[in-house]
Amino acid sequence: MNDMKKALVFSAILLFLCIASDRASADNFWCGGKLILVGLTKYEVLNKCGEPNYKDFRYEKRIKRDFYRDLFPSDDLYRYRDRQKYREPLFVDEGILIEEWTYNLGPTRFIRYLIFENGRIVDILTGDYGF
């Protein structure tokens, strides 16, 4: 029975590793023998993969909370800290440039969509087979 438990634990660990490695590979891909992953800049992707087959641009306006903006600058550090302690959150409009790059890697590989926000990859999506 002890060997049966060991085999069951080993199988569970092996299954977990397969699932984890599949999820990790969904967030990145290989382009020309070089790994493309979330967090790379546009320059790094261009250097590794070259120009994409298609580019799409759009701007989004997002609202974020900002607790640390000083509306009344002062030289007195003590008053500045005191004012910051009791401040209400400030909601600020933030403009974000979103770019979607499409790489068609051929009929034997999937199309990849790279989503950039302000010049960095935030998501990599997989489409159908290329053409």
Q: What is the pTM of this model?
A: 0.62
Which DSSP letter does residue 68 get? -
Q: Are 40 and 118 in contact (CB under 8 A)?
A: no
Decide which of 23 and 54 is more confident: 54
- Indicate if the pLDDT at residue 24 is higher than 60: no
Predicted confidence (pLDDT) at residue 90 exceeds the cutoff of 80: no
pLDDT of res. 91: 75
- Whole-number Å distance between alpha carbons of 107 and 104: 8
Task: Please give the full DSSP string across 3-47, using - where no structure is assigned.
Answer: HHHHHHHHHHHHHHHHHHHHHHHHTEEEETTEEEETT-BHHHHHH
pLDDT at 18 exceeding the cut of 60:
no
For the chain, what is the mean pLDDT? 77
